[in-house]
Amino acid sequence: MSQNSPIRKTLLLAAGLALGWASASYAAEGPPIKVGASIALTGEFESFGQEQARGLRFWVRDINGRGALLGRPVELVVYDDESKVDGVAAIYERLISEDRVDVLVSPYSSPQTLAAAAVAERHGVPMVSVGAANTIWERGFKNVFGVFTPAEQNMDPVFSVAAEHNLRTVAIAYQASEFPESVAEGARKRAAENNMQVVFDQSYPEDATDLTGLVSAMAATNPDVVIVGAYLDDSVAFMKAAQRQNLAPGILAFSGAPALAEFGEAVGSGANGVMSTVQWTRSDRLPGSFDFGFRFQARYGLYPSYHAAGGYGCGQILEAAVRLAGTTDHAAVREQLGTMIFRSILGHYRVDETGMQIGKPKYLIQWQDTHRSMIYPPDIARWDVRVRFPTWSGR
């Protein structure tokens, strides 16, 4: 690798950002660099959105505390989309046309991201995305860049654990919306690759509040592994139905909701043994993870979920792209987001030609007694996997 290659420059910048020296050493001057986002601060996705917003604000506080970005302060412009798709497009039109933001961060949830992406594409404004449904990367967008592992790969760690423990049958349940549907599609593919039999495969409506019938039918198949593509409210509804129906698989894994403390508060002791795929944990041994977790907890009084780290990581990725571009010009920033190799708090950032994230790994946590434990991958796991779901049945 040459001393002046783009890859070397990117990796050196990544190291500098991790250590905090790649920032201006003088007071910020000039107009602010504006980062715009629509985030679910209320409504169904409030728990996820609030964490994302805290992470973004934490990054803005850090970067302005370090000095500046290209000699200018950073300003975050956020609107509440109320967890609804309707209105997201208008918010992003406002961010671009009225607020004159320089770069964008996607909303939480893939349907909202798709609505925002269409606006970003029309105006040619680069946007980093926490939305991860595979449909996002199938639309031909040139201005949207993923920061999370794609949804179809969401359950890969679960299948690795299932194979290690010789579990052979799989039941899949998922909300009928973009992200959970992609999770389910990926689960079907991994099951086939691992010669595992899918004994149950059913969706449920987005507004479902009682999943008793679905869980009863699933329990009748006596699956070794249960995979649920869901958000917070429907994950809790599934767990309550599972308790009533005495569902007792070897593995019960969700697509993210159990990463939140609110899940444990809602489910209580029934959370014991539940697994969740996550995009980040402070146990991942990435530079800055423990520091971020400590400082976030000191400021907000709670341990950060991966959604908070996602917000912070979005900021770091945008910061790297703008620094490498040396400007906020949309074309120049877009070029960097599409080609740079960077390591944020989330891990390696690298996208393919569609903007889909291909660089970062996925992690698996498990509720063990009253705490969330990092159990996969084995080389960084802090606790052993507990298989044979320790449910209310005593199994």
Q: Is 80 helix (H, G, I), strand (E, B) or coil?
A: strand
The pTM is what? 0.85
Residue 366: what pLDDT?
Answer: 94
Residue 199: what pLDDT?
Answer: 98
Residues whose CB is less than 8 angstroms from the CB of residue 262 and which lie 6 or more positions away in sequence, other chains included: 47, 232
Are the C-beta atoms of residues 159 and 199 closer than 8 Å to each other? no
103-105 β-sheet, strand order:
74-80, 33-39, 103-105, 127-129, 144-146
Which residue, among 39, 41, 44, 54, has the nearest Cα to 309 in the 3D structure?
54
Are the C-beta atoms of residues 194 and 168 closer than 8 Å to each other? no
Q: What is the number of alpha carbons within 13 Å of residue 2 lying toward its C-beta?
A: 3
- Domain boundary assignment for the chain: 6-149+283-349, 152-279+362-376
Residue 388: what pLDDT?
Answer: 67
Residue 7: what pLDDT?
Answer: 41
The DSSP line for 317-330 is HHHHHHHHHTS--H
List C-alpha distances in Å: 213 to 203, 225, 245.
12, 19, 9
Common-topology check for domains 6-149+283-349 and 152-279+362-376? yes
The Cα 386–Cα 376 span in angstroms is: 11
Residue 18: what pLDDT?
Answer: 40
Q: Measured at the alpha carbon of residue 354, what is the angle toward residues 353 and 358, in degrees to the nearest 5?
A: 75
Are the C-beta atoms of residues 334 and 343 closer than 8 Å to each other? no
- Per-residue pLDDT of the chain (395 residues), as tens digits, is 443 444 434 443 443 444 333 333 345 578 999 999 999 999 989 989 999 999 999 999 999 998 889 999 999 999 999 999 999 999 999 999 999 999 999 998 889 999 999 999 999 999 999 999 889 999 999 999 999 999 999 999 999 999 999 999 999 999 999 999 999 999 999 999 999 999 999 999 999 999 999 999 999 999 999 999 999 999 999 999 999 988 989 999 999 899 888 999 999 988 999 999 999 887 777 888 889 999 999 999 988 988 999 999 999 999 999 999 999 999 999 999 999 999 999 989 999 999 999 998 889 999 998 888 889 988 888 889 988 664 444 44
What CATH homologous superfamily does 6-149+283-349 map to?
A: Response regulator (3.40.50.2300)
Long-range contacts, 281-287 (Cβ 8 Å, 24+): 281/306, 281/363, 281/365, 281/374, 283/374, 283/380, 283/382, 284/347, 284/363, 284/374, 284/380, 285/380, 286/343, 286/345, 286/346, 286/347, 287/18, 287/343, 287/345
For 152-279+362-376, CATH number out of 3.30.590.10, 3.40.50.9100, 3.40.50.2300, 3.10.105.10 equals: 3.40.50.2300
Residue 330: is it exposed, middle or buried by C-beta count within 10 angstroms (0-12/13-18/19+)?
Answer: middle
